[in-house]
Structure 1
Amino acid sequence: MGKLYFKILLLPILFIFSYHLKAQQDVDLENLGKRTKEELKKNPFKISGGISANSIFYGSNVYSGREPFTYFLNGNLNIGFYKWTMPISYNLTNQGSNLGYQIPFKFNRLSLAPKYKWAKAYIGDASMSFSPYTFNGLLFSGAGLELNPKIPLKVALMTGRLNKAVEDDGNPNTMPAYKRMGYGTHLKWEKEQYKLGVIGFYAKDDIHSLKKSLDERGILPQENLVLSINGAFKIKKNIEIFGEYANTAITTNQRATAIGGVKEGIASHLMKTNSSTENYSAFNTGANLQLKKGMIGIRYEKIEPGYRTLGAYYFNNDLENITLNSYFTLLKDKLSLSSNIGRQRDNLDNKKLKQTSRWVGAVNANLKASEKLMISASYSNFTMFTNRQLNQFTHINANPLQIQQPKDSIDYKQISQNMNVNINYALSNSKDKTQNINFNYSLNDMVNRENGIVRKGGLSRFHNANINYTIGFPEKKLNIGSSFNFTHTYAASQISTIWGPSITVSKSFLKEDKLKTNASASYNRSNMPNATISVANLMLGANYTPWDKHNFNLTLVQMMRNTNQNIENPKVNETTCTIGYNYSF
């Protein structure tokens, strides 16, 4: 299947390059050298980028499992010549080196992304996305290519290792895995009035990459092919419809017998199937109406139960969504309003004992009341309904009386409401002094009702309020900030509170603010039914730039935690020191 992918990929690439080769033949070749010299003068050899090194030292009076010393080396280098650019980035760390167990991915990464005009390549450790239903943000080690020429045809492709082979070493924390290779293609045809795209992604585990079978641990060699078609069309200047259909065929065990393999969807007809091959589809469509001062849109989505591919970390499935969203600006663009409301349900194949349906609604508002006053507010409501059958049992004897008895059920309803209000007011803004005050309040409320009754423990409510005051003295290069936070929680018929103040001071020294310092202190006290916990934090930081493009930073944090609980370590002291260096060029 991998060789077939390479052959298919060559066709659009050859088409693009032959098209541009013909275009080059139509160019006045006599002036080509002259123009090249002019371009070289405008775009000579350039190099830019930056490197950073950070070390974290950690100490505690109790064992936490955290490494006492961790380093992070990061860098990005951008080399440019003529119309070529070559970004290079790397990430090196000892994090994970002393885990004591193995994982199928790596922490250290090296990436190259050379680009010339409309062609861009990915070499090394890279990440690309085609669509949410196919290949979406999965990190791979290999190569990728994006071609975006000034013609309607666009091409994106990838090939590489998705997982490295990890043997089962007996450690329960080790994540054994087969070596997995992946190949993907995204072809797009884009015009002003419409866009069409097709996606193909194929992944397969190498059965021979491990010495021992992992069947006993439920880890089986898999194979997957997913195909997708998507598009968008403009009916008028302000109306657009869009949609995508994806079909995935996934073999959960390559060793399964070929007898009983069913070819149901499009993807399964293009790959070898067996009795473990499963087929699923996903679909979405919608429309957007652009208005003079806003937008209205509607979207429908359906993802079959079990839908997944090997091209993403996680998939939501077994759901049907319909959503309506809008956005408007009013009062001479001082007020912006956005809203969406949707209905979602699961159990699309009626195989679950219960079905859940949800109403989701949200409203957001932002108001610029004056040059000094800004207000924002949001509200969302999440309502879930469930009808659950009780007393599910298998009828051992065909008892007519038993079968005719009505089944008990519970009508379950869960309502979750979230509200947030933020008010920001600039008290003053002058050369001598700036003052600002900010207030934020949030509420989270959840209620569980069974047959209309809220039982004990079925209500939880979370209040949080925070007020901040900052004052700055620009001429003295001094800023002072203070805040107070209060949280009230009611859950499981119990009340707990958290409150505490904090203060932050920052000041710059030396010419051109080369030395910037800051210090902060905070205190939080938690009052719970069975315990009282107090936490104090002290932080000191400095940022020093002795020369242009060179920067040193230091942060020291001391945390002290005390509780009246009868535990082994009621007092915890932790010290964290971070030292870093950054160089940009």
Structure 2
Amino acid sequence: MKKQTISLVILFFCFCTSQLNAQEVDLENLDDKLKETLKKNPFKISGGVSANAVFYNSNVNQSREAFTYFLNGNLNLGFYNWSMPISYSLTNQGSQLGYQVPFKFNRISISPKYKWVKAHIGDSNMSFSPYTYNGLLFTGVGLELTPDIPFKIAVMGGRLNKAIEDDGQEQTIPAYKRMGYGAHLKWEKDRYKLGLIGFYAKDDYNSLKQSIDHKGITPQENLVLSMQGSFKLLENLEVFAEFSNSGLINDTRAEKGNYSKGISNRFLKSNVSSESFNAYNAGVNLNLKTASLGVKYERIDPGYKTLGAYYFNNDLENITLNTAFNLFKGNVNVTANVGRQRDNLDAAKLKQTERWIGSVNTNVKMGEKLMVTASYSNFTMYTNNQLNQFKNINDNPLALQQPKDSIDYKQISQNINVNANYILSNKKELTQNINFNYSLNDMVNRENNIVRKGGLNRFHNANLTYSLGFPEKTMSIAASANYTNMYAASKTTNIWGPSASINKSFIENKLQTSFGVSYNSSSSNSISTKVTNFRVNAGYSPWEKHNFSASIIQMFRNTNQDIPDKKLNELTATIGYNYSF
């Protein structure tokens, strides 16, 4: 894979050279352009740095660290057409975990760029497609070449996981050292785009002193190949599609065996643990002046996996329809989508799940003062669970004599959200605003059309906020009331409480201050809990590009619940410094 990646890069440079040589060069104006460029300041430097320290104290023993620091920064060095962004993130978070994880908390990345050439050095991430390599952090080198010609290329290579020995700690995540390499080739024209993707990853079995088979972790090898493309049939009509095949060796130590299924496995030394999976999608998009319409089909094989992503859903088939349009001169905006999803594509499970997914979002502008937004979504899931095991016996006459023994399970989840914002006053000396928000989440579980005890969960939340501002005095005041009603597990819980805050600027807006207080009372059956929060924030900018910040949050919680820590006092203080240049 390394040799193939290098070969692709060499071929790409040769192609670019031939393209550039074929272009006519304006020699008469070359000297004038060069002189004009040299007159400019060649050196440029910009960036920023931030440092934050968090202090935590509680009267209850907590696993949270008492002191945590975060150092983040970015530096952009420029020299004529060159630029070199450098970013880093340092912290002591995780230093007192007492166990090991296969990823890094401290990171540094360098991304030099010259015109259409960009590199990634250090701890970086790139994305090719959802089915191949998608945002996984690697420690190594990446390269993106985007010249002013149809052909583009992106390549990466580096360590995906560091080797972690099993130290006996329950929380430790042991892992083999894993290396990964990938390339994304693209050919882009005005009316069509084509792409080829290859991603390869392999675990080093010799990176650990002892086997971790008892943890269910084996050394793996993976090759994913993908083809993608889009075509404009008309100026406003586009079709797109992508196909990916993932060849996975679950255990590189397994007995050798020929496994020819799938394109990717033809390039791997397959064994008896080899598998092949497919994923693909296709769709059509129609874009009009005030509306759009699209349809998409997606299918991912059961067990589909790529070592180039953190997490992946599989065993699903989606058909979705989406639309968006504007009405009444753009004062009403509507977006909607509806789809159907099912699993158990290979009929290997005893049950199959199907669900309808639909949502509508609407923004309505009623004059200059009132804005209303509303959304509704409905997720309906069906599961037919066949409990009669005689159905698994082919052509067994006894199956016809058995009573019907199955569950028709249906889960319906509905979400409603309404937000209304009304401007009472918008003057230089006084601004007033009222905001109301209501949300509902309702989930019902039905078995054979019967809602059993505990099968209904309902959540209501309402919030009303009044804001008062004095722009000339650089001061604002806000007060709000919040109410929540929850019904779950046949129990009702009510939470209510007010909150208030005041913001004020001093010293010609160089000092920003705020103070807030909130109170919440929660009651459920015979259990009552009361929580009070005090918040103080300050930000000071004595000089341009420099900012100091500090915040304190004090929480008091009291409950009559029969637990050891009925009274909780928790203090969190944060100080920070930011500098930009």
Same fold? TM cut 0.5: yes
Is the 2:391–2:399 Cα contact (8 Å) retained in structure 1?
no
Amino acid at match of 1:218: G
After TM superposition, the structure 1 = structure 2 runs for residues 38-437 of structure 1, keeping only pairs within 5 Å, are 38-42=36-40, 44-259=42-257, 261-392=258-389, 401=398, 404-437=401-434
Is the 1:485–1:499 Cα contact (8 Å) retained in structure 2?
yes
Is the 1:9–1:185 Cα contact (8 Å) retained in structure 2?
no
Is the 2:355–2:379 Cα contact (8 Å) retained in structure 1?
yes
Tell me by how many angstroms 1:15 deviates.
Answer: 1.8
Tell me by how many angstroms 1:365 deviates.
Answer: 0.4
Q: Distance in 1 between matches of 2:125 and 2:105?
A: 14
Tell me by how many angstroms 1:322 deviates.
Answer: 0.4
Q: Distance in 2 between matches of 1:306 and 1:9?
A: 33
Q: Distance in 2 between matches of 1:474 and 1:382?
A: 45
Amino acid at match of 2:129: S
1:473 aligns to 2:507 (yes or no): no
- TM-score, length-normalised on structure 2? 0.97
Amino acid at match of 1:115: K
Tell me by how many angstroms 1:307 deviates.
Answer: 0.5
Q: Secondary structure in 1 aligned to 2:37?
A: helix
Partner residue of 1:536 out of 527, 532, 536: 532
- TM-score, length-normalised on structure 1? 0.96
Q: Distance in 2 between matches of 1:154 and 1:225?
A: 22
Tell me by how many angstroms 1:7 deviates.
Answer: 2.7
1:502 maps to which residue?
Answer: 499
Q: Secondary structure in 1 aligned to 2:175?
A: coil
Tell me by how many angstroms 1:392 deviates.
Answer: 3.8
Q: Secondary structure in 2 aligned to 1:367?
A: strand
CA RMSD of aligned residues (A): 1.7
Tell me by how many angstroms 1:9 deviates.
Answer: 3.9
Amino acid at match of 1:145: L
Q: Distance in 1 between matches of 2:186 and 2:144?
A: 11
Is the 1:412–1:450 Cα contact (8 Å) retained in structure 2?
yes
Structure-2 change in CA distance of 1:394 and 1:349 (3 Å): closer
1:574 aligns to 2:546 (yes or no): no
Amino acid at match of 1:564: N
Q: Deviations over 1:487-542 (max 9, x none)?
A: 0011111111111110010100112x111110000011111124111110001111
Structure-2 change in CA distance of 1:49 and 1:70 (3 Å): same
Q: Deviations over 1:37-59 (max 9, x none)?
A: 31233453110111010000000
Q: Secondary structure in 1 aligned to 2:33?
A: helix
1:561 aligns to 2:557 (yes or no): yes
Q: Secondary structure in 1 aligned to 2:4?
A: helix
Is the 1:180–1:206 Cα contact (8 Å) retained in structure 2?
yes
2:10 maps to which residue?
Answer: 10
Identity of aligned residues (%): 63
Tell me by how many angstroms 1:395 deviates.
Answer: 9.6
- The more displaced of 527-536 and 573-582 is 527-536
Q: Deviations over 1:298-338 (max 9, x none)?
A: 00000010001000001111000000000000100111011
Q: Distance in 2 between matches of 1:366 and 1:40?
A: 52
Is the 1:58–1:577 Cα contact (8 Å) retained in structure 2?
yes
Q: Distance in 1 between matches of 2:188 and 2:396?
A: 65
Tell me by how many angstroms 1:345 deviates.
Answer: 0.5
Partner residue of 1:443 out of 440, 445, 459: 440
Tell me by how many angstroms 1:389 deviates.
Answer: 1.2
Q: Deviations over 1:341-382 (max 9, x none)?
A: 001000000000100000011111001111111000000100
Partner residue of 1:548 out of 529, 544, 547: 544
Q: Secondary structure in 2 aligned to 1:145?
A: strand
Q: Distance in 2 between matches of 1:395 and 1:464?
A: 47
